[in-house]
Structure 1
Amino acid sequence: MAESAPDDSINKYGAAYKAAVRGGTQDRVTLKEFHIREPTSPIDLSGNRIFHLLALHGHSEIVTELLDLSSPPHGLSTRNLKGDTSLHEAARFGKKVATAEAMLCKDGSLISARNQLGESPLYLAAAYGHRDMFHFLAEKQFSKNEWRRNDGCTILHAAVMGEYYCIYMFSKFKYVFIIEFTLHDLHSNGKLISCASSQPGLAFEIVNKYPDLISKHDQMGNTALNLLVQSPSTFRSGTIYSCRMLCSSAFIPQDMAAIIIYIWFFGEVGRCPGDPENPGDSIPGKLTRFLIRCPLFAKIYDAKQKHQFAMKLAKCLIKREKKWRYHGDSGEDRSDIRISGPLLENANMSNEKNRIKDPLFQATKLGIVEVVANILEDFPGAIAMLDENCKNILHLAVEHRQFEVFEFMKTKKFPIATMVLEVDKNGNTALHLAAKLGDHRPKNVAGVIEQMSWEVLFFQLIKDHSMPQVFSQQNNKGQTAEEVFDKTHKNLLGMAEKWTKETTNTLMIISVLIATINVTGAFTIPGGYNQDSGYPIHLNNVDFSLFMVYLVTALIFCILTLGASISAHLSRFQKDDFYISLPLKILIAKTSLFYSLVFTVMSIAQGVVLETNGDIPFLFIVAAIGGTCIIWFLTIAIYVDITFPLYHYLTHLFIQLLPYSWQAKLNSFFR
């Protein structure tokens, strides 16, 4: 019976529902008649009343007219099935502040009404990023109880979860629109419009207006900074716009182009590049406006603004949290804060999930090197912090295979050798954790051979920064780091061996086929032989010399491919072979095969020129050149997509041989 009631309401009050959605002049009569007759009746399946729908669609004038029909107003405080009042809907959709103002003038108690999740209208305005609505409701709000919902999330949590970091001012012709930043706010009326400027958004405004909320945590122990750090895609290091993530790309050349656009075409947040007084009229500003009209470029611009403002917000939150996070008691009220870790391991914690999470540990585990760098540069003493498992940040970076975090610590000359010596509650040093193959496979690893190579490299790097006594040190299971590595990497080593042999077999077969084509072409030359002398007819022709050069070069690369493939195929497949030997051999084999294919095609094209004596129609030449350029472009793109993971690995391996000052610059470049 309860389920049939809403269905009957839709049939019976369909006219009122449509009128509330449209909100036209003719609809006002229908709405007034319905409101006088049945002000509290639901008109849709969600249990919404007329005021809910009017607030949803922003018909503030009709709301005012209906409110004047009765005193006190009927149906205004009635809730739908989710427990939302009409003011909740006005705050959620935020179309007109006048709607909320009219409602509060009639019933001021709506400001403190909560739905089933414990959300107040103020919370919903923050959760959906409606700045004007939020500030209007904040002026009417006198109780801090409406800052939170049932799970402990505050209005600052809501703004951070919604990613409302900045405001963009988009301009088109003579019109200016101020839009709260979200991933979907790049279009106006279905058409993309260009950016004039950007500025901090609602999350920053809440931080400045209610600084006490920075240290507040929800039932899961998350502060706003914790929520910000929990999303790696909020920062550049966790997206495709970071060079370290290229290997996880579906098509690497495409993301390479995106990174170039990200870095070189769009300037810093808060301004378009060019003339600071009138940036839109400068050449860089016009270029930015032109590019951002394309959805692909707009997506990249959107991401850059998001990353830079998120980092600014993170810095702001870090500085505000430092008093209680890293320097102990500051005189602030911390009655609702619970801190976990070895320093308080004897404390009586009623619920494990309520423990406050440290953003430094979170950022380290997720590889958000920007946040880690900011915390450690501002508060170097945080390097000594331990988590609940007695692990320092080096342990966590190693365990989660966050290479960039380790590189940052190394180039900043933190005491890595001392940190490696420290053990967690299981007796593992950082070298043990580097040796253990866990469930934390890096996203920037393409295949099994790359994964095995990175595992060996990481283990070797930690080993190079360890004191000799660490090599023989045993954990609580009586295992040294070498023993842990051999045991946990046994299956991966077997898969890498199988993959290598299958790959080298394929490379050898293809190289032999290409070599056969070139050998055949060398003895069946274009134009044939002179029957009197036995020499090729085109022997003295420059085109014939080029033809032979291409053939011989292709054969040389085929032999090089064959040699490198055989050498890799017959390797011992010990872990040290994956450090440099096998990756280098496979890269040489793939690269040589690529060049052998290139020179084979060039020799075929040169053979066509010899056969026709250069007498080729002009249109055919133009079409051939155009087609060749397209084919070469696609071929190079495919080659880059196939070989980049190995180049990426060998580049980082080479960087490790350089001085620390050079390493810092190169790592910053490749980041």
Structure 2
Amino acid sequence: MAEALRMPSFADIQAAAADFARGFDYNYYRPLHIAVLKGDWETAEKFFNDDPGALTSKITTLGMTPLHVAAVGSQWKIVEKLVQLMSSEALAVQDFVGCTALHYVATSGSLNAAKAMVTKNRSLTQIITLAGHTPLLFAITSTRSKQFVRYLAFTTTDDAPACPFSGPSANYLVTFLTAGGYHDITLDLIQLYPNLATMADEDGSYILNVLSQLPSDFPTGSKLGFLESIIYHFVPVELDHPPPSNRKEDLEDPHGTSSDHQCYFGSLIWKAIENLVTRIKIVRDRKLRHKSAVRLVEYLCSKASTNDNDSQFWQSFVSGSILSNATSFGIVEILSICLQFFPDLIWNYIPNEGYIMQIAIKNRQEKVFNLLCDMPISRTFVLALDDSLNTTTHLAARLGPPSQLGSISGTAFQMQRELQWFKEVEKLDHPLHKHAKNKDGKTPWDLFRDEHKGLLEEGEKWMKDTSNCCMLVSTLIATVVFSAGFTVPGGNDQEKGYPIFLNDNIFMVFAVSDALALFSSITSLFMFFSILTARYAEEDFLKTLPNRLILGLTFLFFAIATTMIAFGAALCLMLREGVKWVAIPVAFLAFLSIALFAVPQLPLFLQMVASTHGRGIYHPQRLW
């Protein structure tokens, strides 16, 4: 890849420039050069009127024409004016690097400028630089405008000298196109040029190789918030459209209003909504990328499965590195589709990595693990030993990768997750392997303890720090509500000692809320205190400590809520005679205070509950 993008050496360019500079009067063209860079058309036009030949002359030491300079400076109005004045042949002039003006337009992504140039000279898309690059390759690696890339992709042909879709640079074209996330364009291109689908080297398919390193381009690797998940589910995405084939329409459609454009942005209603809510368009684009990536993998595997050299070809097409990457990154879609087309891939042993099942366990990829567990033969690989006599349980005993641990909030719950993985794999492994020793003489449990010493200490510190902070809040609440129980609103009757508002409904709300706040805060205090005095063995992080923390937080949340209710009731009792509407702002402020505390903590709390009392790791998914 790096070789294909190798630019001519600086010495070569310098030699060509030096040779040109011997008869070049740069001072003469400097005013024109600066005027074009600044977008000063009046000065440039006056220069052209005085010297018509300057319109196509090389005005820089790098051999650039005014059109090149305007494109480099992103002066699109001047570019369009120059295109109108220049002949079609002049548009194809190259500088000393071999770039036409269209190459520089491609780095900036001005669709109107590109269409104006290509409409006048359709061969511009085929001209290559000294390094063999077409404007399309420049666009893929430089611009982030999918519409611009799509336009060049389907106005570029496979004609000589470029041969971008069948020549030596075709593999780099599809590699960069896939890496840029233009999967729907890639899908359309390989239908026009089927050879692109089966291009592979010793590392396997070029496209699959890139896709196997892009987990966020697939549904299972993309993390969405609650609102984004709802939008993702309902927003429409259409892929069932034929690739553009009418090149004339593409060239003559300067505003991109073709049927392909309409299909790309969906119905008129959704377009209107997207204009109002930007997030919807972002989620829709992500869903389109996900759906295109899955469809692309299906198409590639379909093509590979029908190849004449069936067995030998697809084993190299879906190489070990692709399987290893897809498993390590947890891209279930790639593995699922590949195994559906080529079930024998499950037997692949990847040097220094192991079988797919073992890689999934080492990298803590739950979804891949459950997908493979649906295949009974996969469980056989759990019994395999590696060169160091490590069982699969030994592999599960190693500390998980930082990327997976970092996705779990709180080191205590990271430790819990590590324990859950170890226990789950231990159940699947053979009972004799429970006490089996590797070359270092360690059993799986010995290895787990050694690997997780640091995480155990951090988990203990996290638990104690969290408990101390929560105990402080619980103690404060208990102190306040205990005092409020003896200094009730309105005071007490001097003769009988009963509260003056004893028969008032609002007072009963205050009394009950105050009592509940006291009892729940004291209970949470006990729970957090029990965490501080726990023994902190490894297995305590599995259930015991998380349960205590969950109970402590539950009672603390309840204590805060009832304290606010008690305070609101007391305030209403004291002010209702003078300010009758006082209950409304008090209730609102009480609810707001509770929400401001609970909402940021709720995701972590729910994660704790799900991690401790959820369905666990092992829940096989159907492959067929």
Q: TM-score, normalised by structure 1?
A: 0.74
Equivalent AA in structure 1 for residue 68 of structure 2: H
- Counterpart position of 2:247: none
CA shift for structure 1 position 597: 0.7
In the TM superposition, what is the alpha-carbon distance from 1:234 to its structure 2 partner? 1.1
Deviation at 1:97, TM superposition (A): 4.0
Aligned residue in 1 for 2:459: 496
- Compared with structure 1, are the counterparts of its residues 634 and 10 closer, same or farther at alpha carbon in structure 2 (3 Å cutoff)? farther
Aligned to 2:194: 211
8 Å Cα contact 2:304-2:317 kept in structure 1: no
Q: Structure 1 regions of 5+ residues with no counterpart?
A: 166-200, 242-254, 272-278, 341-355, 666-671
Q: Name the CA shift for 1:481/1:317 in 2 (closer, same or farther; >3 Å).
A: same
Aligned equivalent of 1:76, options 83, 93, 110: 93
User: Is the contact made by 1:367 and 1:405 (CA closer than 8 Å) also made in structure 2?
Assistant: yes
**How far 1:316 sits from its partner (Å)?**
1.8
Does residue 367 of the first structure (1) align with residue 386 of the second (2)? Answer: no
Deviation, structure 1 residue 268: 4.5
Q: Distance in 1 between matches of 2:446 and 2:326?
A: 30
1:159 to 148, 158, 177: 177
1:130-529 alignment runs, 5 A limit: 130-138=149-157, 140-141=159-160, 144=163, 153-165=171-183, 201-217=184-200, 223-241=206-224, 255-263=225-233, 265-270=234-239, 286=269, 289-290=272-273, 293-322=276-305, 328-329=311-312, 358-389=321-352, 391-410=354-373, 412-442=374-404, 443-529=406-492
Q: Supply the distance in 2 between the matched residues of 1:441 and 1:87 (Cα, whole angstroms).
A: 42
Contact 2:68 2:100 in 1 (8 A): yes
The residue matched to 2:488 in structure 1 has which SS?
Answer: coil
Residues 10 and 90 (structure 1 numbering): CA distance in 2 closer, same or farther, change over 3 Å? farther
Q: Secondary structure at the match of 2:276?
A: coil
Q: 2:564: which partner in 1?
A: 601
Shift of 1:339: 8.0
Q: Deviations over 1:481-537 (max 9, x none)?
A: 111101111111111112112221222222111111111011111111111111111
Secondary structure at 1:134 match in 2: helix
Find out whether 1:555 has 2:518 as its counterpart: yes
Per-residue deviation, residues 562-594 of structure 1 (Å, max 9, x unmatched): 222122222221111111111121111112111
> 1-side partners of 2:397 and 2:425: how far apart?
9
Distance 1:664 1:566 in 2: 41
**Shift of residue 323, structure 1, vs aligned partner:** 5.7
State the alpha-carbon separation in 2 of the partners of residues 521 and 390 from structure 1. 64
Query: Is it true that 1:51 corresponds to 2:67 in the alignment?
Result: yes
Distance across 1 between alignment mates of 2:560 and 2:291: 44
* Residues 179-200 of structure 1: CA deviation (Å, up to 9, x unaligned): xxxxxxxxxxxxxxxxxxxxxx
2:129 alignment partner in structure 1: 114
How far off its partner does 1:96 sit? Answer: 3.0
What amino acid sits opposite 1:67 in the alignment? S
Query: Contact (CA 8 Å) 1:79, 1:86: kept in 2 or not?
Result: no
The 5-angstrom pairing of residues 581-596 of structure 1 reads 581-596=544-559
CA separation in 2, counterparts of 1:586 and 1:462?
26
Q: Measured at CA, do residues 586 and 285 of structure 1 come closer, stay the same or move farther in structure 2, by a change above 3 Å?
A: farther
Q: Which moved more, 1:9-18 or 1:609-618?
A: 9-18
- Asked if structure 2 preserves the Cα contact closer than 8 Å seen for 1:587 and 1:646, the reply is yes
d(CA) in 1 for partners of 2:293 and 2:96? 36
Cα gap change, 1:477 to 1:10, in 2 (>3 Å): farther
Contact conserved, 2:467 with 2:528, CA < 8 A, in 1? yes
Residue of structure 2 in register with 1:575 after alignment: 538
> Partner of 1:85 in structure 2?
100
Match of 1:648?
610
Q: Which residue of 1 aligns with 2:10?
A: none
Moved more, 55-64 or 595-604: 55-64
Q: Deviation string for 1:155-175 (max 9, x for gaps)?
A: 22232122223xxxxxxxxxx
Greater CA drift, 88-97 or 514-523 = 88-97
Which one-letter code corresponds to 2:117 in the other structure? T
Amino acid at match of 2:417: W
CA contact (8 A) 1:87 1:121 kept: yes
CA distance in 2, matches of 1:647, 1:384: 38
**Corresponding position: 1:67 with 2:87:** yes
- Rate the CA distance shift 1:571–1:426 in 2: closer, same or farther, 3 A: same
Indicate whether 1:616 and 2:616 are aligned.
no
Partners of 1:287 and 1:122 in 2: CA distance: 30
Give the direction of change, closer, same or farther, for the CA distance of 1:62–1:460 in structure 2 (3 Å limit). same
CA distance change for structure 1 residues 143 and 301 in 2, over 3 Å: closer, same or farther? closer
**Rounded Cα–Cα distance in structure 2 between residues aligned with 1:484 and 1:148:** 52
Give the partner amino acid of 2:100: T
Instruction: Tell whether 2:493 aligns with 1:530.
Output: yes
Q: Distance in 1 between matches of 2:28 and 2:66?
A: 15
Number of the residue aligned with 2:9: none
The Cα of 1:296 is off from its aligned counterpart by 2.6
CA distance in 2, matches of 1:305, 1:104: 30
Structure 1 residues 655 and 486: alpha-carbon distance in aligned structure 2, compared to 1, 3 A threshold: closer
Structure 2 CA distance for aligned equivalents of residues 74 and 290 of structure 1: 41
| Aligned-partner SS, 1:586 | helix
Query: What SS class does the counterpart of residue 103 from structure 2 fall into?
Result: helix
Query: Which residue of 599, 602, 624 corresponds with 1:637?
Result: 599
Q: How much does 1:553 deviate?
A: 1.0
1:325/1:626 CA distance change after superposition, 3 Å: farther
CA distance in 1, matches of 2:576, 2:119: 86
Paired letter, 1:636:
A
Percent same amino acid among aligned pairs? Answer: 23
**Number of the residue aligned with 1:198:** none
| 1:431 and 1:481 in contact (8 A); partners too | yes
| Closer/same/farther in 2, CA of residues 47 and 16 from structure 1, 3 Å limit | same
Distance 2:429 2:274 in 1: 50
Q: CA RMSD in A?
A: 3.8
- How far apart are residue 30 of structure 1 and its match? 3.5
Shift of 1:28: 5.0
Inter-partner Cα distance in structure 2 for 1:540 and 1:594: 29
1:620-649 CA distance string (max 9 Å, x none): 444334434433332331221442331331
The C-alpha deviation readout for 1:395-427, integer Å capped at 9, x for no partner, is: 1111111122112223x2433431111123333
Q: 1:418, 1:63 → 2: CA distance?
A: 68
Matching residue within 30, 33, 40 for 1:13: 30
Gaps of 5+ in 2: 1-13, 241-261
Taking structure 2 as the reference length, the TM-score comes to 0.80
- For 1:130, what is the secondary structure of its paired residue? helix
Cα separation, 2, equivalents of 1:406 and 1:47: 59
How many residues are paired up? 567
Question: Structure 1 residues 26, 13: CA separation in 2 closer, same or farther (over 3 Å shift)?
Answer: closer
Q: C-alpha distance in 2, partners of 1:31/1:85?
A: 21
